Amino acid sequence: MRKRKKDKTKQRLILWSTLVLALCIWAIVAPHITPNDPYYSNLAVAKQGPSSQYPLGTDQLGRCMLSRIMAGAPSTIFSAIAVVMITFIAGSLIGVFCGYYGGRFDAVVMRIVDMFQAFPGIVLAIAVAGILGAGMRNAVIALSVVGWTQYTRLARSRVLAMREELFMKAAKISGSSDLKIIFRHVLPNAMSVLVVTAALSIGGNIMEMASLSFLGLGAQSPKAEWGVMMNEGRSLLQLYPGMILYPGIFIFVAVMLFNLFGDSVRDMLDPRQK
C-alpha cells in the first residue's frame, strides 16, 4: 500500500518534470520558429483578431502576438530560473556557514537577513530595480537580492539542528576539517529541504519577473517579453482583451507547471512537509 503511494508520487514527479522540461525546450526553440517576425510592425494589420496568418492576432502596432509570445518565452522563464539558481546557491552557502560557525559573523548576517525580510519581497525588488535602473539583468539582480534570505534562514536552521547530532562529532573525530564536514555532511543533509524550496519558488519568480517587466522595471518595450506585452495591452483591455489575455495565459501555464513540479519534488523528497 505504502509502496503504491510512493510509486504514485514518483509517477507525478516524472509527469511534471517531463512537462517542465518540455516547456523549457519549447522556450529554447520557440524564438527560432516564430511564424512571423516578432518585431516587424505593420500598422495596416494592427489590432486584428486571430487569423491563419496571425494565430493569436496582432497588437496595436500590427506585430504577430504568437510570435512575440514565443520570442519572449526564454527571457521570462530562464531569467526566473537564473534568479532561483543564484539565490539557492548563495543563500544556502551563507546560511550553512552561519549555522556552522555561529558567533559574530552569524549574528551580523542574520540581522541583515532580518532587515531584508522586514520588507515585502516585491516592494524591495521594485526599490532595488528602481535604483539599478530598468533592464532584464538588473531585474535578475533585484530579485536575487530579495530572494537569498529564505535559503539562508532555512539552511542555517537545518545546520543548527544538525550541529548537535552525533555523526557531526564522529566526522570531527574522523579528522575531517570544517570545510570537508560542511561539503560532505552538512550540505548534502540540508539539501533536500533547500531543493524543495527552490523548486517551489521557480513559479513565483516567473511571476515576479513578469511583474517587474509589467511595471517597466525589467525588460523594456519593444522587447518581446510577457510582462511587457501585458503592459502594452493594458490600455486596450476592453477593446482587444487578447493582447493582455494571451501573454497572461502563458504566464499562468508556466507558473502552474513549475508549481506543480515543485509540489511533486516536495512530495518526493520531503513527504512530511505536506
At 26, is the secondary structure helix, strand, or coil?
A: helix
Q: What is the DSSP letter of 91?
A: H
Question: From the CB of residue 41, how many other CB atoms can be counted at a distance below 10 Å?
Answer: 16
Q: In this complex, which beta carbon is closest to another protein, that of residue 131 or of residue 173?
A: 173
- Contacting residue, 63, 153, 185, 266, with another protein by CB under 8 A: 185
Q: How far is the CB of 170 from another protein (least distance, A)?
A: 4
Number of residues that bind another protein (CB under 8 A): 17
Residues within window 140-179 making contact with another protein, judged by CB under 8 A: 165-167, 169-177
Applying CB under 8 A, which part among 47-55, 131-139, 181-189, 219-227 lies near another protein?
A: 181-189
112 is a contact residue toward another protein (CB under 8 A) = no
Q: In this complex, which beta carbon is closest to another protein, that of residue 84 or of residue 171?
A: 171
Q: Where are the alpha helices (DSSP H) in the chain?
A: 2-29, 65-101, 103-117, 121-132, 136-163, 166-173, 178-181, 187-214, 226-234, 242-269
- Sign of the CA dihedral running 132, 138, 139, 141: negative
Q: How far is the CB of 272 from another protein (least distance, A)?
A: 15
Q: How far is the CB of 178 from another protein (least distance, A)?
A: 9
Q: How far is the CB of 17 from another protein (least distance, A)?
A: 22
Q: In this complex, which beta carbon is closest to another protein, that of residue 53 or of residue 177?
A: 177
Backbone conformation region of residue 47, classed left if phi is above 0, alpha if psi is from -120 to 50, else beta: left
Q: How far is the CB of 177 from another protein (least distance, A)?
A: 6
Q: In this complex, which beta carbon is closest to another protein, that of residue 77 or of residue 195?
A: 195
Question: And the C-alpha cell for 168?
Answer: 557531526
Amino acid at 109: V
Q: In this complex, which beta carbon is closest to another protein, that of residue 171 or of residue 244?
A: 171
Residues within window 193-252 making contact with another protein, judged by CB under 8 A: none
C-alpha atoms less than 13 angstroms from C-alpha of 13 in its C-beta half-sphere: 16
Computed on alpha carbons and rounded to an integer, the radius of gyration of the chain in Å comes to 22
Length of the chain as a residue count: 274
Q: How far is the CB of 175 from another protein (least distance, A)?
A: 4
Q: In this complex, which beta carbon is closest to another protein, that of residue 137 or of residue 180?
A: 180
Q: How far is the CB of 245 from another protein (least distance, A)?
A: 48
Q: How far is the CB of 6 from another protein (least distance, A)?
A: 17
266 and 273 Cβ atoms separated by less than 8 Å: yes
Q: What does the CA dihedral 40, 46, 47, 50 come to, rounded to 10 degrees?
A: -70
Question: From the CB of residue 267, how many other CB atoms can be counted at a distance below 10 Å?
Answer: 19
Q: In this complex, which beta carbon is closest to another protein, that of residue 185 or of residue 223?
A: 185
Applying CB under 8 A, which part among 59-67, 80-88, 106-114, 183-191 lies near another protein?
A: 183-191
Angstrom distance (rounded) from CA 28 to CA 76: 11
Q: Give the footprint of another protein on this chain (CB under 8 A).
A: 165-167, 169-177, 180, 184-185, 188-189
